[in-house]
């Protein structure tokens, strides 16, 4: 149960921090008078700030709950780790339920806060930092372009996760690599799909944005999970240690422990 609560809280923080930064802080203006004329200065954090916000949520939660639940925060990550033989299939469903519920709570908090601004509206192509294709793609990209983007970006995200958490990788640096990887993914793909690579994140805000965005959710479940499965299978097939190598490494660790003790 501790693992599921950790996933709930972590995914809540990811949606609140990432999507919240997009809804509340991506664009902000202040009034100023210059030579008697009113002008608007944009003070928002823009694409770069939102990308960093998503990366920072994963980075902070990886250190906070990684030792409890593994800090998946994402159904696609859970599927990818399962495909890579790093995660039990028995825990897929409870992990995903916890992640989606946490994301929905995050979306609800964003909606409650944003609703306090009289200028806030659910009109537009991407209210609540939702993901979409066609008319709901920030750059007007087609369904095929968005499908390819989400599959490839999630594939690379899982390759980063699987590689940086491999026991042969330098210890302690995985959260940094994963957080920066997610930041880079957002810098690339915000104009295309508003960046999902996470079905829970997409669901948590779409439920508050109307039926048109909910109708497009299927893509942001299908494409990230497909990309994650491909990455898990690929990493395990190409880069995983052979069983003999693992046994030798375990035996070496046991001998070193016995010598120390």
CB-CB contact of 225 with 79 (8 Å) = yes
| pLDDT for the residue 238 | 94
State pLDDT tens for residues 84-94: 999 999 999 99
Q: What is the chain's mean pLDDT, rounded?
A: 90
CATH topology of domain 2-239: Glycerol uptake facilitator protein (1.20.1080)
Residues 165, 187: Cα–Cα separation, whole Å: 23
Q: Give the confidence band of 33 by pLDDT, cuts at 50, 70, 90.
A: low
DSSP 8-state code for residue 170: P
| pLDDT for the residue 252 | 47
Residues 18, 103: Cα–Cα separation, whole Å: 11
Residue 42 has pLDDT above 90, yes or no: no
Residues 72, 197: Cα–Cα separation, whole Å: 12
- For residue 166, count CB atoms less than 10 angstroms from its CB and return exposed for 0-12, middle for 13-18, buried for 19 or more: middle
DSSP 8-state code for residue 135: G
- List the single range of 19-23, 29-33, 45-49 with lowest mean pLDDT: 29-33
Closest by alpha carbon to 162, among 52, 90, 240, 247?
240
| pLDDT for the residue 243 | 55
State pLDDT tens for residues 98-136: 999 999 999 999 999 999 998 889 988 899 999 999 999
State pLDDT tens for residues 230-243: 999 999 999 987 65
Q: Per DSSP, what are the bridge partners of residue 33? A: 38
Over 90-112, what HEC string results? HHHHHHHHHHHHHHHHHHHHHHH
Residue 248 has pLDDT above 90, yes or no: no
Q: Which residue has the higher pLDDT, 35 or 257?
A: 35
Residues 53, 113: Cα–Cα separation, whole Å: 18
């Amino acid at each position: 149960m501790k693992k599921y609560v950790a996933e709930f809280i972590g995914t809540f923080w990811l949606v609140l921090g990432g999507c919240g930064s997009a809804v509340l802080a991506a664009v902000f203006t202040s009034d100023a008078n210059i030579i008697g004329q009113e002008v608007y200065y944009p003070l928002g954090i823009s694409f770069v700030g939102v990308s960093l916000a998503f990366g920072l949520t994963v980075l902070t939660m990886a250190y906070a709950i990684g030792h409890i639940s593994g800090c998946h925060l994402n159904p696609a990550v859970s599927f990818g780790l399962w495909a890579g033989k790093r995660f039990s299939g028995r825990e897929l469903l409870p992990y995903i339920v916890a992640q989606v519920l946490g994301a929905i709570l995050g979306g609800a908090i964003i909606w409650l806060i944003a609703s306090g601004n009289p200028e806030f509206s659910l009109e537009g192509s991407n209210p609540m930092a939702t993901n979409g294709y066609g008319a709901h793609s920030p750059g007007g990209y087609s369904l095929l372009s968005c499908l390819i983007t989400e599959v490839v970006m999630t594939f690379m995200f899982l390759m980063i996760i699987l590689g940086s958490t491999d026991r042969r990788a330098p210890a302690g640096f995985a959260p940094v690599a994963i957080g920066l990887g997610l930041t880079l993914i957002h810098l690339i793909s915000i104009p295309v799909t508003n960046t999902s690579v996470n079905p829970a994140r997409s669901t948590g805000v779409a439920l508050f944005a109307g039926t048109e965005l909910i109708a497009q959710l299927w893509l942001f479940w299908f494409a990230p999970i497909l990309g994650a499965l491909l990455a898990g299978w690929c990493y395990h097939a190409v880069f995983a240690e052979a069983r003999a190598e693992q046994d030798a490494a375990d035996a070496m660790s046991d001998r070193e422990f016995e010598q120390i003790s």
